[in-house]
Structure 1
Amino acid sequence: MRYCLALDLKDDAELIARYEEFHRKVWPDVIRHIREQGVSSMEIYRLGTRLFMVMETDDAVYDAERMAEAAQSNAVIQEWEALMWKFQAPTPWTPAGQKWVLMDRIFDLRQQ
């Protein structure tokens, strides 16, 4: 399954540069956690302060709620998320208490 999610960054060039630096060498435990949860591919793109994530998952393994629960019980993931939140900001459409939010697909060329 493919998921597309959005999140914003704080509008600060220095913070954005640091955020990108962290993502050039993501902590190994974070990568392991993502893969163990059934995520087979993940890409993050940036335009200004807007981030766009494309995530491909193995439907036999991936469960968003289970992944969130696993993250809550993993001290390294919690440390990473707290660090990333120093750079991140919710979009204007992000529900309170959330970070990345699913985007709605409005066009698919294969269906035309």
Structure 2
Amino acid sequence: MKCRMFSAFRLKPESVPEYVRLHQQVWPELLQVYREAGITQISCFLNGCDVVVYSEYEQEVYQQAKESLSHNSIELRWQALMQTLRDPYFQVLRFEEIFHMSALEGNL
């Protein structure tokens, strides 16, 4: 089953250009790690210093790979780098999906 995840966080103002640059050149090996973990889509959106991230993943694959992903050296390196760019005083927000149009299409 395909699942969707949405989160938001804030960057330090001086980190915005570096965050954009890094996401224009995401490491190919990181993308491979994500694919192997069942993550099929990641989109990042920027508004000033605020970032929202939308992800899609295959639930069965992701649930099995989640633990190994949290110990993967490539993922840990990327997340450590991202952490240096984030505003440490802004708590990451995670959102619960309560509506998706395609979920209703079978009922129409």
Q: TM-score, normalised by structure 2?
A: 0.76
Matches within 5 A, 1:28-107: 28-63=28-63, 66-67=65-66, 69-90=67-88, 92=90, 94=91, 100-105=92-97
Larger radius of gyration: 2
Unaligned 5+ runs, structure 2: none
Unaligned 5+ runs, structure 1: 95-99
Identity %: 24
Residues 91, 30 of structure 1: CA spacing in aligned structure 2 closer, same or farther, 3 A cutoff? Answer: farther
Please say if 1:4 is aligned against 2:2: no
Shift of 1:89: 2.4
Residue pair 1:29, 1:77 contacting (<8 A) in 2 also:
no
Runs of 4 or more, structure 1, over 6 Å off, are: none
Residue pair 1:7, 1:90 contacting (<8 A) in 2 also:
no
- Structure whose residues are more often helix by fraction: 2
